[in-house]
Every structure is written in C-alpha cells, then in structure tokens.
C-alpha cells in the first residue's frame, strides 16, 4: 500500500513539473513575442495592409420621352498614375506594363516614358500620366490590375449637361455633398467626394440616379507596393438608372420660343395621364455653370439676381388666377343652378359697392344684358361680381375651388412646389384680425384679392374639365430603365389625384362654353389657328399698377378629340413685362406648331405674329 502511494505521489510531482514547464515555455514565448520581438511583428503588420481604391459609379442619364435626346449625361474624367518604384525591375516587364497601359489610354508609350524618372531611381511618388482617361479604360485596368503593378487612378465624376435652356429649371443640377448632407447620406454609401442632386429631377430622383460605386482591394506593403499578385479583388461600379422623362423635347422648344424673353411660364400637359410634355420658365439658369470652377460665385449671383432665374415659375410661383377663375364659378352655377342659366345680368360697365367704384375691365361702356354663357365668353366682371356676392357666396366658391385643386399642392414630382392660396373668412380673420366682407367675395369671384394659384394648378383645373372630373397627379418622370441594356424597369402609371362628384353633364356644358370663348369671345382674335379647335379662358391679373397686368391663357385642344388625344396648354406672362396681352398669342403659336408639324417660327409666320420683340395689341380681360 505504501509503495502504491509513493508511485502516485511521484506521478503527481512529474505532472506538476510538466505543467510548470509548459506554462514557463508559453510565458517565455509570449514575452519574446510581446517584448523581445515586438518591433519585428509591428514592422511586419505595418509592412502589409489592404488598400481599397474606389471606382465611382456613373450617374444615371436623363432623356426626353423619345429616349433619344440626352438631357444629362456624364463626363468620364479620370486621372491615371504610375508609382515608378512599383514597376517591375526587369526592363522587358516594365516596358510591357507601359505598352499595355498606353493602348488602354490611347496614348503613346513614348509619352508615358517621358514622364517617368530614370528606372534606376527608386521613386515612391505617384506620377500622373493621363488626366482624362475614360471610365472604360479605368474599369479595364481594375479588372486586370495584376498586369499593371504600380498603376493607380483617381476620379471626380462630372455631370455633362447640354444646352438645356429653360429645361435647366426642370432637370436641376448637382453639386458637392455638404457635411450636413453627408451626415444623412453616410449610411447609403456616400463619401465626401460625391456629388448629389441639388434641384429639379436631379434632387427628386437622387436615389435612382446615384448608382453604386465599385472597388479594387489589394495587399500593399509599407511603401504602397502591390504584393497581392493575382489576389486583388475587383468590384465593378454599377451605373445609376436611366430616367426617361415625359418632356417632349420638340414641344419644349416650341413653348420656349413662343414665350420668348418674357418673364413667365408655359405648361403643356397631357390631361389623360398627368404627363408634363413641356415646362418652360423664364428667366432660367444654365445647369452647366455648377460644373465650372467658379460654381460658388455663380450660385451666389443667381441667388441675388432680382429676376430670380432659379425659380421655376411654372410651379414654384403663384399669382392671382384672374378671369381664368371664372371657370370655377361657371361650373358651380351649371352644377347647382344657383341662378337660371338664361337669367341675364346687366353690365353697365361700372357699378358702385361698399363706397367704391367697380369697373368692368373688358369693356368700359359695358356689355349690356348677359346670361352665363355670354358672360364667360366676354369675361364680364360685373356678372361674376354679382353672382358671386348675391347668389353663390364665399362658402360655395371656396368649396368648388377646392374641388378643382386650388389651395393645395398638385404633388408634382419636382421639389419646392408652391401650393398657392385659397382665402377663406377664417383665414382672413386669423391672418389680419379682420372679418370677411362682400367685397372680398367679389374679388375672389374674379380670381383677384387674396387668391393665388400656380400655373400648374390652373393646368390641373383645365385637365379636370377635359377628363370630366378627374385630375391625375402631374409628373415629369415617364420611365426608369436599365443603364446598360435599356430594359424597362418601371413605367410610371397615371395616378388619380382627385375625382370630383360634379356631373358629366356639367363638364360637357362647361367645355362648350370654353369653346365659345374662342369662337366669339375674348380669345377670338388671338386664337387664329385653323389646324386645331381650341377651347379655353383668358385672364388678366391686376397688381395695382395702371400699365402692368399678368396675362393668362388656360386652354385645351383639340376640342373635338377624346381626352387621351388632347393637351392642356397654360401660358402665363408676368406683369413685369411691358403689357402686350401675349399669353393667348403664345398659346396660338404653340397649338399651330404642334398640330401643323411646324417650328415655332414657322407657326408664328402662319398665324401672323412675331415671336421676339412683337407687341400685340389686344383688349384686357
């Protein structure tokens, strides 16, 4: 028993000795690694690292509705460098790298060699050998990076805009990402070197246009020398989506020339879908200036310009809709028979109310006795003042105006929309601490006073009449396509913004009344085109000056066509221009050009007007 106990004790001692020895060996090894050989391991860790180089994704392209006219593309601007110390030592291999690179960059080998130092020198600095290399060349280098030791690149993608003219205010522009934007977009893969959309389509559809950056990852030593061999990882960039807009480039040009150098806007809308075929504003800016070296100064200049060229007057400005608003009152009378349609109201040219004189602008001597159809055709202020104040009342006017989309955004897919103002008694009480008066109702009845609307809202009103009570959300994006194959990814479908309960009979009658405005009313003289029948309503907005008024014309045509084949045209000329009552004449040129297949100049010649510098006399209404 004692012998057995001694054997066990001996084994335990041996086991303890072994454990102590192993611990001592591990301790010594750790001491050696962490203390004695620390510098060696740190040096090795520093010597080898993984270097990742970003390949920026091209921004998505933007086209017109045909898909053939490019509005916004990209400039492929890449700088390619060589680090001489990383080139292969053997002269033949070095020459192979240079020759292959020269082929990809479409430059001569001699040109590259002339920029490199003597092969015997050990230069670690990068030398630029090409400053405008294409994306295709850089992508090829990245894919075959093992064949190009010592070759690297940097890039700053640049947006390429053509001469967009007024479309600049629709397309928008891009600029350097701000630090505030970076905080919000960091998790989406943005870097401080990126460009982002700042206005228009570029801003609204930033997520579609951005694309996904590519990367090249390789192992390099402390000098930046590539030691990865064939193990480099390449992730090619993915371009942003191709956007096809609803804008018709030809119609845009026609509308732009018809407006000319007059401060104002033009909208051509497809009422059956909400597609915007043209959106013109003047003055406008040039998107290309934001790609220049003095973009900051140019931006400040635009902001301080009193004419506000960065403002898209088609949907970011609002004005008194003037007599175009009489269409709303006409619809309410037709629908609810507030007064008999054949009841006449006498227009003496001037009436007195509330201690002041109210003059009918269209015809100072007066129109005489008018029924509803004649009052709309002749745009008689006294008729609508009377029915608005004595028969409809502000509540009914506001209710119908809301039904037609006034006082709220249209939801257009562009940033910074102005929703206008539809005044109510409660609004005035809150705003001015003053009660609503019958005089306010009279002003509202002819689209004056506090009432404000954007040209796009007026276009939606006319679209609702065309569609028999339906307004589709206006939009400028038509399709989203694959940037490489062009395959359709998404087609924007018509989206109902509002559906009215007004009867189809009312809309039928209203359309005929609006046609009568052209046949024998205020627009008979300016709407002289013979190629298409037009219906619409003129308007003259007062701003308190005796020689300046806003000029409106809201219309649709062809009058006798189904809604799917009709267009809505709204022209608006601001009072800042010399008075020439140009809005209906501009629309006349637009209709003539579109339906006769003419240019704006040809159309103007056909209908007998001059586009630039022409002063067209006409009566106000």
The superfamily (CATH) of domain 249-288+310-607 is: DD-peptidase/beta-lactamase superfamily (3.40.710.10)
Task: Tell me the torsion sign for CA atoms 270, 276, 278, 279.
Answer: positive
Q: Domain spans of the chain?
A: 49-164+213-243, 249-288+310-607
Report which DSSP code applies to 90. Answer: S
Our CA dihedral for 11, 13, 19, 23, rounded to 10 degrees, sits at -160
Q: Given this model, what pLDDT does residue 614 score?
A: 41
Tell me the C-alpha distance between 343 and 371, whole Å: 5
pTM of the model: 0.82
Fold of the 49-164+213-243 domain: Penicillin-binding protein 2a (Domain 2) (3.90.1310)
**Strands 127-133 and 567-573, how do they pair?**
unpaired
Report how far apart, in Å, the C-alpha atoms of 509 and of each of 83, 326, 465, 471, 512 are: 79, 15, 10, 18, 5
Q: How high is the pLDDT of residue 498?
A: 96
Paired tokens of 393: 């009342």
| pLDDT at res. 228 | 61
For 477, the enclosing helix (H) or strand (E) is strand 477-481
User: CB 77: neighbour CB atoms within 10 A?
Assistant: 16
Q: What is the mean pLDDT of each run of 10 residues along the chain (621 residues)?
A: 62 75 72 62 55 80 96 86 85 89 90 81 71 82 87 79 94 90 86 88 97 78 56 81 98 97 97 98 94 80 94 97 97 95 93 90 83 96 96 97 97 97 97 96 96 98 98 98 95 97 97 97 94 96 82 97 97 88 96 97 95 50 49
């Amino acid at each position: 028993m004692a012998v057995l106990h001694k054997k066990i004790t001996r084994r335990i001692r041996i086991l303890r000795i072994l454990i102590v020895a192993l611990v001592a060996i591990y301790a010594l090894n750790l001491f050696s690694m962490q203390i004695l050989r620390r510098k060696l391991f740190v040096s090795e860790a520093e010597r080898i690292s993984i270097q990742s180089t970003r390949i920026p994704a091209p921004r998505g392209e933007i086209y017109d509705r045909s898909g053939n006219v490019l509005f916004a593309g990209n400039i492929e601007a890449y700088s390619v460098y060589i680090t001489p110390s990383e080139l292969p030592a053997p002269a033949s291999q070095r020459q192979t790298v240079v020759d292959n690179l020269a082929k990809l960059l479409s430059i001569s080998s001699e040109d590259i060699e002339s920029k490199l130092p003597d092969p015997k020198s050990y230069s670690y600095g990068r030398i630029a050998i090409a400053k405008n290399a294409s994306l295709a060349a850089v992508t090829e280098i990245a894919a075959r990076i093992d064949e190009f030791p010592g070759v690297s690149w940097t890039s700053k993608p640049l947006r390429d805009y053509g001469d967009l003219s007024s479309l600049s205010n629709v397309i928008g522009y891009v600029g350097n990402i701000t630090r505030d934007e970076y905080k919000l977009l960091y998790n989406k893969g943005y870097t401080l070197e990126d460009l982002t959309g700042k206005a228009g389509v570029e801003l609204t559809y930033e997520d579609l246009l951005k694309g996904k950056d590519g990367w090249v990852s390789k192992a390099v030593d402390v000098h930046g020398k590539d030691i990865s061999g064939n193990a480099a990882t390449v992730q090619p960039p993915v371009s942003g989506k191709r956007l096809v807009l609803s804008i018709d480039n030809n119609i845009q040009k026609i509308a732009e020339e018809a407006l000319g150098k007059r401060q104002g806007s033009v909208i051509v809308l497809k009422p059956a879908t909400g597609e915007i075929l043209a959106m013109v504003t003047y003055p406008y800016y040039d998107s290309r200036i934001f790609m220049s070296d003095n973009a900051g100064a140019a931006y400040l200049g635009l902001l301080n310009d009193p004419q506000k060229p960065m403002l898209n007057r088609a949907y970011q400005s609002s004005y008194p809709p003037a007599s175009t608003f009489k269409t709303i009152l006409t619809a309410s009378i037709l629908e609810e028979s507030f007064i008999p349609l054949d009841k006449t109201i006498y227009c003496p040219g001037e009436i007195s109310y509330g201690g002041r004189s109210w003059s009918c602008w269209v015809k100072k001597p007066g129109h005489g006795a008018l029924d509803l159809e004649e009052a709309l055709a002749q745009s008689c202020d006294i008729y609508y003042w009377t029915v608005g104040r004595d028969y409809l009342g502000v509540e009914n006017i506001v209710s119908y105006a809301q039904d037609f989309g006034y006082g709220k955004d249209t939801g257009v897919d562009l940033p910074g929309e102005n929703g206008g103002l539809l005044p109510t008694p409660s609004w005035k009480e809150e705003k001015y601490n003053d009660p609503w008066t019958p005089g306010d109702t009279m002003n509202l009845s002819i689209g004056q006073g506090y009432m404000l609307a954007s040209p796009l809202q007026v276009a939606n009103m006319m679209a609702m009449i065309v569609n028999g009570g339906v307004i589709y959300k206006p939009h400028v994006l038509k399709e989203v396509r694959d940037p490489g194959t062009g395959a359709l990814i998404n087609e924007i479908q018509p989206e109902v913004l509002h559906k009215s309960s007004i009867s189809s009979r009312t809309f039928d009658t209203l359309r005929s009344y609006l046609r009568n405005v052209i046949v024998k009313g205020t627009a008979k003289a300016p709407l002289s085109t013979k190629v298409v029948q037009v219906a619409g309503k003129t308007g003259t907005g007062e701003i308190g000056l005796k020689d300046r008024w806003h000029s409106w014309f809201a219309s649709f045509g062809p009058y006798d066509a189904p809604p799917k084949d009709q267009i809505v045209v709204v022209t608006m000329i601001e009072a800042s221009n010399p008075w020439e009552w140009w809005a209906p004449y501009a629309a006349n040129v637009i209709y003539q050009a579109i339906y006769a297949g003419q240019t704006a100049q040809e159309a103007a010649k056909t209908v007998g007007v001059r586009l630039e510098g022409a002063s067209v006399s006409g009566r106000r209404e």
